[in-house]
Chains A and B, each alone.
Chain A
Amino acid sequence: MSFCIGTVAVLLITYIGLIAVVMSYAVLTIEFSQSVRNNKAEVAVLESRYLASVARTTTTDYISAGYALPTATTFVRAESVTALR
């Protein structure tokens, strides 16, 4: 009889424990998902700034900003980056 009561008690505690684990998992999943969404939105803001700065750089008139075009451009062969080649 005591064995049965003990078994039932263990099963009951296990069941309650499983419910607690599953509930915690559900809560964490939702929190993590929301956190990912929020981080993505923050990254999107940074990407907007990056693209805006690219546009600003592209439309900048460097001549009016005081820079001069190079008078000559010379290309040379790229040097080997290792001593073995």
Chain B
Amino acid sequence: MRAQFRSRIRLVLAFLILAALGIFLRLYFVQIVHGETYSQKADRQFSSGGSGLFDRGAIYFTRKDGTLISAATLATGFLVAINPQVLGDPEAAYSAILSAAPSSTIPRDAFIAAAAKKSRVYIEVAHRLSDESGQALSAREVPGVQVLRERWRQYPGGKLAAQSIGIVSYGSGDARAGRTGLEAMYEGTLARSGDSLYRNFFAELFSGMSNLLVNAKDAREGDIITTIEPEVQTRLAGDLAKLNQRYSSKESGGIIMDPATGAIIAIASYPTYDGNNLQSVDPTLLGNSFVEHVYEFGSIMKPITMTAALDAGVITPATTYDDTGCITVNTARICNWDAKARGVIPMRQIIMQSLNVGSSWIADQLGQDAFREYFTKLFAEKTGVDLPNETGALLRNLFKPQQVGYSTAAFGQGIAVTPMQMIRALGALANGGTMVQPHLVRAIRLNSGIERTLDWGKKTPIFSATSTRETVEMMSALNDEILYGGKAKIPTMSVAAKTGTAQLTSPGGGYYTDRFFHSFTGFFPAYNPRFIILLYTNDPKGVQYASETLNTTFLDLVHFLIDYYAVPPDRGFST
């Protein structure tokens, strides 16, 4: 009995050992031999490669009080798809879908053609339905019609700073990504890769164990916080639209920047587009003219020429010269805007009366090498602003021996720079001679909750503080005494200003005599500026001088900024 019991026990034990060996062998094949295959199969099924809802970080404007307002965010709604194999009555289905999404449903003919494709099981026919419409359509349970969750990029401001915020769209692949503006520049921060909301939790738990400890994505992915102030941006955009429409210009643009830090408070151009509706947008508008186009800015270059000469010590504000109205340099004839001679006059008159002959005279005094050195420091390098596709300046004339290239560059013709380079260089006048780095994003708010402030502290000393102050005095006098015959003067605020009118280049060479590029720059309070403004309008019709087109816009912005930011007066107030 005992022996029989023992043999049975051994039999059971042998069976268990064999079973364990079998399981062990099977595990060996599953985990070691075919482990890679199963891993890939599991990945395909669960966490990796899941086509979840579209996800992307937000871009924020920053109000003056620090409140964040979305410039780009995500909207949630529904899309409608049909299964032609199940769809019974295409006409009835189309009517139901059309009533739920009247603006986003494909045309009737396209819908009927899609419904006829019986080999297909999934065709999307309407997008961006609101929650109410989507749920109402879903409740009707139309056979062959599926109502599915959808998310898409939404720009609450519509056209507001559209060119700088950028767009998200499909490229060559099937993934949406930032294509222009900040959307493209900060793609690595804004993109959300493989982070589907509806992934398998267990698969994520076991396959992503390391992420529970240190998640690399949390240190990289986040939201973008810009320096753009939405109300100032709205004001600038509105003023430019009015200006452009009034003078039928080809385009107009403007930048408002803090000259001490390079933070861009507003940046707008006209014409523009609405990022929420890209179907009928002219593709040329998607670029950003502030960094991608170069212009000959004209006389707003004169304060830079003046400061360079003052800084080099070749002139002082008291220096005089004999203005003859026109001069000939090499074989080119250079004249003042009215071709009239002024006689012997001091330097400040070159800025106040915007005299080309005087600027050319300064270029002569400075000499070619020194002139080239100053302008190369100011314009040869790209600004490094956080916008894609930045181009460089055209300074070829400054590398030729002919003096005429320097004489014309002194008043902003013959060399072409981007608006971003121009405001950076003019910012050096406002900032005691130091050039700062313009930027649009001040911080990144990471998914981990940490707000990482970006370092834009690169400063390039160009001029001495004394030389910039002397030029600022001339620009302030221009505002107080010349603009609107002195009526532009604000008794309680010093404002430095300069207008610029440049002839447009002709495709056949040379310049048009009746087509112009108008520019305007100014900053205030003049001797400790909080804001620098650069405005331009390209090819305005029916006017010749920038003082006719941009004065009003500039002064409107100055008064608005003084009121909005409650900028304290810097002169003329009673105690």
A interface list, Cβ under 8 A from B: 22-23, 25-26, 29-30, 33-34, 37-38, 40-41, 43-45, 47-48, 50-51, 54-55, 58-59, 73-78
Contacts and interface: CB of A to CB of B under 8 A. Distances in A.
Interface stretch (B12-20, B67-75, B500-508): B67-75
B230 A44 contact: no
B575 to A, nearest CB: 6
B574 interface: yes
B574 A44 contact: no
A25 B202 CA distance: 11
B151 A37 contact: yes
Given A29-B201, A51-B69, A51-B160, A76 B574 contact: yes
A44 B154 contact: yes
Contacts of A37: 74, 76, 151, 197
A58 B234 contact: yes
B157 interface: yes
Contacts of B69: 47, 50-51
Contact of A44 (B73, B205, B568, B573): B73
B573 A75 contact: yes
Contacts of B473: none
B231 A54 contact: yes
B492 interface: yes
A44 B275 CA distance: 14
Interface residues of B, number: 32
> Does more than half of chain A's interface fall in helix, strand or loop, or is it mixed?
helix
B351 to A, nearest CB: 28
A81 B404 CA distance: 60
Interface string B532-575: 00000000000000000000000000000000000011001111
Given A26-B201, A34-B197, A48-B157, 7 more contacts: A37-B74, A37-B76, A47-B73, A51-B69, A51-B230, A51-B234, A75-B569
B197 A41 contact: no
Given A22-B205, A77-B573, A54 B156 contact: no
Nearest to A44: B73
Interface in B478-513: 492
B337 interface: no
A32 B475 CA distance: 58
B74 A40 contact: yes
B70 A43 contact: yes
B205 A75 contact: no
Contacts of B572: 75
A29 B197 CA distance: 9
B156 A51 contact: yes
Contact of B234 (A40, A55, A78): A55
B574 A30 contact: no
Given A37-B74, A37-B151, A30 B198 contact: yes
Given A41-B75, A44-B75, A51-B156, A33 B197 contact: yes
Contacts, number: 75
B64 interface: no
A50 B190 CA distance: 24
A50 B238 CA distance: 16
Contacts of A78: 568
7 contacts: A22-B205, A37-B197, A50-B156, A51-B234, A55-B234, A74-B574, A76-B574
A58 B235 contact: yes
B218 to A, nearest CB: 15
Contacts of A55: 160, 234, 238
Contact of A30 (B70, B197, B238): B197
Most buried by B among A44, A50, A59, A78: A44
Most buried by A among B157, B238, B574: B157
A54 B70 contact: no
Nearest to B201: A26
B74 A41 contact: yes
B201 A54 contact: no
Contacts of B75: 41, 44
Q: 10 nearest interchain CB pairs?
A: A26-B201, A48-B156, A47-B156, A41-B76, A75-B569, A75-B573, A44-B73, A75-B492, A51-B157, A47-B70
A44 B156 CA distance: 6
Given A34-B197, A54-B230, A76-B573, A40 B73 contact: yes
A58 B564 CA distance: 12
A77 B492 CA distance: 12
Nearest to B572: A75
Contacts of B58: 40
Contacts of B205: 22
Contacts of A43: 70, 73
Nearest to B574: A76
Contacts of B569: 75
Contacts of B568: 75, 78
Contacts of B492: 73, 75
Nearest to B60: A47
Contact of B201 (A22, A40, A74): A22
Nearest to B131: A38
A18 B390 CA distance: 56
Contacts of B573: 74-77
